[in-house]
Amino acid sequence: MTQAPATIFLVDDDLSVLRGLGRLLRAAGHVTKPFASPSEFLSQLSGDTPGCAVLDLRMPGLNGLELQQAMESKGCHLPVIFITGHGDVPASVRAMKAGAVDFLLKPFDEQHLLSAIEQALRKDAAARVGRVESAALHARHSALTPREREVCALVAQGLTNKEVALRLGTTEKTIKVHRARVIQKLDVDSVAELVRFVDRLGQG
Amino acid sequence: MTGKSVLLLTPEDMALPAMSMFVASLRSVLWAAQDGPITLDVESLDLGWARGPAYTEALHTWYLAKYRERRPDALLAFRTDTIQLALELRRELWPDIPLIVLSEDGQLWEHQPRPERVAGLWLRYDLRATLELALRLLPDTRRLAFVNGSSPWEQAQQAQLVRELQPLLAQRGLEFIDLTNLPLDELLARARTLPEDTAVLTYTFMTDPSGRPFVGREIARMFLAACNQPSFALHDTVMGLGFIGGSLVSYEAVGEQLGLLTTRVLGGAREEFLEPLKSTSDELLTVDARALRRWDIPRERVPAGVRFAFDEPTLWERYRWWLLGALTLSALQALVVGGLVVERRRRMRAQAELVERQRLEKLAELEARRTLDQLAHMGRVAALGELAASLAHELNQPLAAILSNAQAARRLLNATPAELDEVREALGDIISDDKRAGEVIHRMRALLKREEPRRELHSLNDLVCEVARLLANDMHLRGATLQLSLAPLLPAVQGDGIQLQQVVLNLLINGMEAMAQVPEGQRQLTVRTSSTSPGQVELCVQDSGGGIEPSRLPLIFEPFYSTKDHGLGMGLSISRSIVEAHGGRLEAKSPPGQGALLRCILPSVDTESSHDTSPRHHLPRGR
């Protein structure tokens, strides 16, 4: 887990909204980073700062929805909250489908904003834990030799040692040795746990 | 924050006058009754214009996610389609909060059990009372034409509406002319050729069978312009356009009643939940005095207790002492026929008029001027209506900044030690944002004001810049760029600043709309001012749209000619009348492959002061 404090990235081309928003969030104890244009924000994006992004939906250049896509394609998974000056149901449905946490109409109340931000930060923290775990799983898995990986995959499918040996054209005894290695390298206690490991690996 | 919060689901766009009136009065009652802040969240669902089940499904998913962690103290829903969605959301998110409904459907719970903790009002359109009023005012009526649109909820109401009219139709032996569920063109064609002795009753017209969406007031205006028989209405928001009157629902009163009921419910009045839907008692019989005159209906026929709207003295009443003996009633009527027609006819007839009628001429001109001023005012209101969404956006920006800064300041004051420097800065920002919002409102009000036209000196460049500022946000939303190329030393023009601004506004809006089909990035509107020949200044507006077909060029200044789906076709004809009234002319060209070019030429006034108006024109901000 990274130790950097959670940062709220604010992107709005209206400077006075940007200032007011930043002031409010800082007063509520958050760390903020304001950007007056989507391009400025994208150029300074680094994948590993925890936090969330509050994006204006309508900006010259890139609009908020396009910015959200650009973030995703740069590998930035910060949860997004949209703010907009005029109610627009189709845009909000699109934003929601693209995974936005919330969609606030200006002028918005601090309660709504702060609760949306809490929700986004929780979501980000959970996603981060998930990614760290998944990285650890991949690291352990990559320690296996190619043959051990084959064995691991077949065992996880529920095949017996005998069936695995038949499938790979070798003896049951060799498979037993491979299997013990796999279990040791992956640091699992049982076949059931091995199956779960492979499952999570697949999702990660 | 201990204030309560209420969530209102409405079916329509908040920019519709009925909606904004209703929500504004609801909000003020809630605030007054709660004696302090109460959060009123409004979600407008855009359901009025035919929407499919996939849309409703998407809304449902979206609101579930949006409100999962926000719990209102009460849920309000307006109209049957919205109430269904509200019921589902409540069942899934907060089964224990009260639901307060405002329904137009008296049989809302007939086909399903009434859920618990529901209170409500029944918003009733009194068609019977309206028809009775029509029959009192027009005793020769033999036929009733009924107008209603094709959207799902309009059609859902249809049976109930007809059921209500039926007894009176039968009793008085009236023939029923069905003008419901028609394509717009057909509706207008039928309206032009209705038989004599017909009274028209309009409900609403939100979509036609092709699903094209329309906006209430605009469509009402088009309908009235076409209709050859007197029409009656049911909504107070369309009064003043030319309807004779009706039993009107006041959205202000409805909002107020709903606010009071909500207040009682929030105060814990559980017994309210068991009461049946009540019918509101705010239908008001109203007649438009101007429309009465227009249709020649004697005032004596108006029953006692009916409210008069737009009751101004007639020309006859005002000038009776002056005109008596000199004018017959028919001459007077000839003078008040609609503005553009009269003006043209007047010009054609002028030569044939006798010398002793010159005095009368003068009066006719005054009256034509007055009608043009009224038309021009209507045109401005319509043009600003088109900008409503964009103006709302432009106001919401500073309002958002103000609210954030104010709430930040409150937090900063509560901190120990209080961060006074930061509070001071927040207050400074609040003041400048307040001024910014004030400027938007000021510009808007200046255009909406209806004043006696003035003759003053104006800088054409300043007028252009003022309009450009007003349109900046709309330009941005439509992905168009505006290039101003203003001559530095331009002689002044003389005339009414607001009307001249209106011409600029119309030309710019037309230009923007002409480019809707062009790919974004190529939408470029160029505005030039120049003084090519002495005694004249010129304003050119060129768009990068598809241009105007040569055969259509002579038509575009005709009243009611429009190339747009929703166009009224009044903008350019009003503009031309204004320019001509200022001694100038307005022309259109369409150079091949270059979009349309509109040229407005005005006489200039060569004064010393006009030369030192230095070119201090700021381009509009980015949004």
What is the mean predicted confidence (pLDDT) over B561-573?
62
What is the mean predicted confidence (pLDDT) over A74-89?
83
What is the mean predicted confidence (pLDDT) over B446-468?
83
**Which alpha helices (H) appear in B450-570, and where do they start and end?**
460-477, 497-514
* CA atoms within a 13 Å half-sphere pointing along the CA-CB vector of B375: 29
Chain A residue numbers with beta carbons less than 8 Å from the beta carbon of B6 are none
CA angle B244, B343, B225 (to 5 degrees): 30
The answer for residues whose C-beta is within 8 angstroms of residue B293's C-beta and 6 or more apart is B314
- What is the chain B residue with the closest CA to A104? B66
B565 has pLDDT over 80: no
The Cα B133–Cα B288 span in angstroms is 13
pTM, two decimal places = 0.47
DSSP-assigned beta bridge partners for residue A10: A34, A54
Judged by CB atoms closer than 8 Å, whether chains meet at A24 and B411 is answered as yes
Judged by CB atoms closer than 8 Å, whether chains meet at A103 and B389 is answered as no
Total length of chain A:
204
At B138 the pLDDT is 92
Q: How confident is the model at residue B616 (pLDDT cuts 50, 70, 90)?
A: very low
B61 has pLDDT over 50: yes
Q: What are phi and psi of B70, to 5 degrees?
A: -125, 120
Chain A nearest CA to B169, separation (Å): 42
Point out the residue among B390, B400, B415 whose CB comes nearest to the CB of A106: B400
Chain A nearest CA to B311, separation (Å): 37
Chain B residue numbers with beta carbons less than 8 Å from the beta carbon of A87 are 14, 43-44
Per residue in B192-249, pLDDT tens? Answer: 999 989 999 999 888 888 877 777 778 888 899 889 999 999 888 888 888 999 988 8
B569 has pLDDT over 60: no
Interface list for chain A against chain B, based on CB atoms closer than 8 Å: 13-14, 16-17, 19-21, 23-24, 26-28, 58, 60, 83, 85-87, 89, 92-93, 96-97, 102-103, 105-112, 115, 119
Q: Is B586 helix (H, G, I), strand (E, B) or coil?
A: strand
The Cα A95–Cα A92 span in angstroms is 5
The Cα B307–Cα B343 span in angstroms is 33
- Most A CBs within 10 Å: which of B42, B61, B407, B436, as the mutation test of the A interface? B407
Per residue in B234-262, pLDDT tens? Answer: 888 888 888 999 988 888 888 888 888 88
Instruction: Name the residue with tokens 């105007």.
Output: B548
Total length of chain B:
623
CA angle B137, B143, B149 (to 5 degrees): 100
The Cα B605–Cα B609 span in angstroms is 10
> Looking at B83-87, B378-382, B524-528, which range is the least confident one?
B378-382
Q: Is B397 on the interface with A (CB under 8 A)?
A: yes
Chain A nearest CA to B405, separation (Å): 5
B336 has pLDDT over 50: no
Query: What proportion of chain B, given as a percentage, has pLDDT over 70?
Result: 83
At B477 the pLDDT is 74
Sequential DSSP letters for B105-174: -TTTTTTSPPPSSEEEEE----HHHHHHHHHHH-TT--EEEEEE--SHHHHHHHHHHHHHHHHHHHHHTP
What is the mean predicted confidence (pLDDT) over B147-164?
86
Kindly report the average pLDDT of chain B as a whole number.
80
3-state secondary structure labels for all residues of B242-292: CCCEEEEECHHHHHHHHHHHHHHHHCCCHHHHHCCCEECCCCEEEEEHHHH
The top-scoring range by mean pLDDT among B44-53, B107-116, B504-513, B609-618 is B504-513
At B37 the pLDDT is 67
Judged by CB atoms closer than 8 Å, whether chains meet at A106 and B432 is answered as no
B619 has pLDDT over 50: no
The top-scoring range by mean pLDDT among B143-157, B345-359, B370-384, B542-556 is B143-157
A-contacting residues in B 34-73 (Cβ below 8 Å): 39, 43-46, 58-59, 61-62, 65-66, 69-70
Q: How confident is the model at residue B614 (pLDDT cuts 50, 70, 90)?
A: very low
Q: What are phi and psi of B180, to 5 degrees?
A: -105, 155
Predicted interface score ipTM higher than 0.85: no
Per residue in B479-509, pLDDT tens? Answer: 888 999 999 889 999 988 888 888 998 899 8
The Cα B22–Cα B102 span in angstroms is 11
CA angle B507, B508, B511 (to 5 degrees): 85
Q: End-to-end alpha-carbon separation of chain A, Å?
A: 16
B541 has pLDDT over 90: yes
Q: End-to-end alpha-carbon separation of chain B, Å?
A: 33
A-contacting residues in B 350-389 (Cβ below 8 Å): 389
Q: Is A17 helix (H, G, I), strand (E, B) or coil?
A: helix
Sequential DSSP letters for B8-69: EEESS-TTSHHHHHHHHHHHHHHHHHHTS--EEEEEE---SS---HHHHHHHHHHHHHHTTT
> Looking at A33-47, B48-62, B136-150, B198-212, which range is the least confident one?
B48-62
Per residue in A138-171, pLDDT tens? Answer: 888 888 888 888 888 888 888 888 888 888 888 8
Point out the residue among B69, B408, B415 whose CB comes nearest to the CB of A20: B408
Segment (H or E) for B232:
strand B231-232
Chain A nearest CA to B66, separation (Å): 6
What is the mean predicted confidence (pLDDT) over B83-101?
90
**DSSP structural state of residue B303:** P
AA letter at A27? A
- Most A CBs within 10 Å: which of B397, B420, B474, B481, as the mutation test of the A interface? B397
What count of other Cβ atoms lies within 10 Å of the Cβ of residue A150?
Answer: 15
**DSSP structural state of residue A85:** S
